[in-house]
Amino acid sequence: MKVKLLPSLIAALVLGTATLAPAYAQHQHGPASVQNVADVVFTLRTDIADGKLVFMGNAGAINGKANPTLNVPLGAVVQINLVNGDGATHDLTVADFAAKSNQINVKGASTSIVFRADKKGEFTYICSLPGHVQAGMIGKLVVGDVSPTAKPQGADISRDPHDVGTPVGARGPQHLKVNLETTEVMGQLMDGSTYKYWTFNNKVPGPFIRVRVGDTVEVNLANKADSHMIHSVDFHAVTGPGGGATVTQAAPGNNKSFVFKALNPGLYVYHCATPMVAQHISNGMYGMILVEPEGGLPKVDREFYVMQGELYTAQKHGTAGENEFSLEKLLAEQPEHLIFNGNHDALTKTHRMEAKVGETVRIFFGVGGPNATSSFHVIGEIFDRVYAMGDLTSPPLRNVQTTTVAPGGATMVEFKVDVPGRYILVDHALSRMEKGLAGFLYVTGKDDPEVFTSTSKPDAASGH
């Protein structure tokens, strides 16, 4: 149906403000319930932000906010305008109120939906085109005075990427102790969701262990008394039965230990190796040990510790509340979540990776898995050096765009940052971004037009 717009509404559309009428016309829900002037008006623009498709607030209090929450009074007639800001095909749908716009295909085109918000509660507005919700086009519509639903809170199990230990340098071989505690922790998976992680030292991944070739390393493993499972540790850097797992099968409340000599320099994964091994790994029981060569590694300005993992949950990705382990999905190798450093927010919200223009960055990167091979890539950067498969003694690969890292494998990459901006860490199997796999590296400093400069004119529809 067509809605007659009065001058007051036209002004509201321009300003993007919410206008409240003193009283609401009494109509039934559905097309016949819509009066000739909306009580509340919002304007959204389709856009791309943080690597996702989004609805962006276009004016007023929601201006510049991605997928803003739209708050309206119960009984109000609501108009939501949609402007195409990216040139792709989109629509706007609020299924709970049977409101769906036509599709808009051209940048600058617009459409709108009008409906009466006659049900109290929290609802969603989406783009209904296939894949667009998964790509990020979903927001919340709150009708009436709704008390916010308490979101479950778990412990922060995410590993700080700055936790790389102290470089070995030029010292000789030493006798070192490594203390690991296995714990089972209800941790934060994403906003509104939790998961029962199994960890080394309460974080995912476990601690970054840094030794020198020739060191004698004593490993002490303690399984916390309130655990329900037996746990162990297998170091890929160990020459010995099970990488140490054979002698570290520790029941809850028990301790196990062994000693090994670091014979081979390199960057290696460690993980729990108690049956079923894949479940223990996917629940978070993995980490890395760096065995530095004689003389240590060349000095760089920044070092970061990043590991990729998978979670197999019975609930679909994005489900609020406690998410539970699914054996069926693990055996089918169908993860609901792919993560850097333990959860969805670790390297995008919780921990901030930073560097300055002109600095050299080194990333120790590993894949806990247990199943998915990673195609590690930093969008907007080229790896100056890649130490493939964690090999620190062979000459590195040069000028690499994307490097493949197998489950239970590792690599070390180095690159100089030349231009300021936000660089996104991804697995270039890019569908995995929609399941939570992304990290940010923020680079500050002066622009260098000889390296990169934008020559585009601002878009009329979006202003950028």
- Domain-terminating residue out of 143, 160, 177: 143
Q: To which residue do tokens 């729990």 refer?
A: 272
- Report pLDDT digits (tens) over 249-287: 999 999 999 999 999 999 999 999 999 999 999 999 999
**Pair of tokens at residue 222:** 């303690």
Q: What is the mean pLDDT of residues 425-434?
A: 94
Q: Distance between CA 207 and CA 180 in Å, rounded?
A: 8
Range(s) of the domain holding residue 386: 302-444
pLDDT at 1 (0 to 100):
35
**Pair of tokens at residue 304:** 């970061």
112 pLDDT above the threshold of 70: yes
342 pLDDT above the threshold of 90: yes
Q: Is position 160 within any domain?
A: no
- Domain-terminating residue out of 92, 125, 143: 143
Q: Distance between CA 456 and CA 462 in Å, rounded?
A: 13
Neighbour tally for 46: CB within 10 Å: 27
Q: Is position 209 within any domain?
A: no
pLDDT at 149 (0 to 100):
62
Taking Cα atoms as reference points, which of 158, 187, 181 lies closest to residue 233? 181
Q: Is position 16 within any domain?
A: yes
Q: Is position 199 within any domain?
A: no
pLDDT at 434 (0 to 100):
85
94 pLDDT above the threshold of 90: yes
Q: What is the mean pLDDT of residues 432-445?
A: 94
Sorting pLDDT into bands at 50, 70 and 90, what band is 36? low
- Domain-terminating residue out of 75, 108, 143: 143
pLDDT at 251 (0 to 100):
97
Sorting pLDDT into bands at 50, 70 and 90, what band is 29? very low
The H-assigned helical ranges of 247-371 are 277-282, 327-331
Q: What is the CATH number of the domain that holds 97?
A: 2.60.40.420
**252: buried, middle or exposed (CB in 10 Å: 19+, 13-18, 0-12)?**
middle
Q: Distance between CA 215 and CA 173 in Å, rounded?
A: 5
Per-chain mean pLDDT for the chain: 90
Q: In the 3-class helix/strand/coil scheme, how is 414-456 assigned residue by residue?
A: EEECCCCEEEEEEECCHHHHHHCCCEEEEEECCCCCCCCCCCC
Q: Distance between CA 129 and CA 106 in Å, rounded?
A: 15
pLDDT at 326 (0 to 100):
97
Q: Is position 411 within any domain?
A: yes
Q: Is position 307 within any domain?
A: yes
**Pair of tokens at residue 330:** 């693990």
In terms of average pLDDT, the best of 116-120, 168-172, 316-320, 407-411 is 407-411
For the chain, how many structural domains are there in total? Answer: 2
Q: Is position 279 within any domain?
A: no
Q: Which H or E run includes 8? A: helix 7-15
pLDDT at 337 (0 to 100):
97
In 232-350, the DSSP E strands lie at 234-235, 255-261, 266-271, 286-292, 302-311, 321-323, 337-340
Q: Is position 364 within any domain?
A: yes
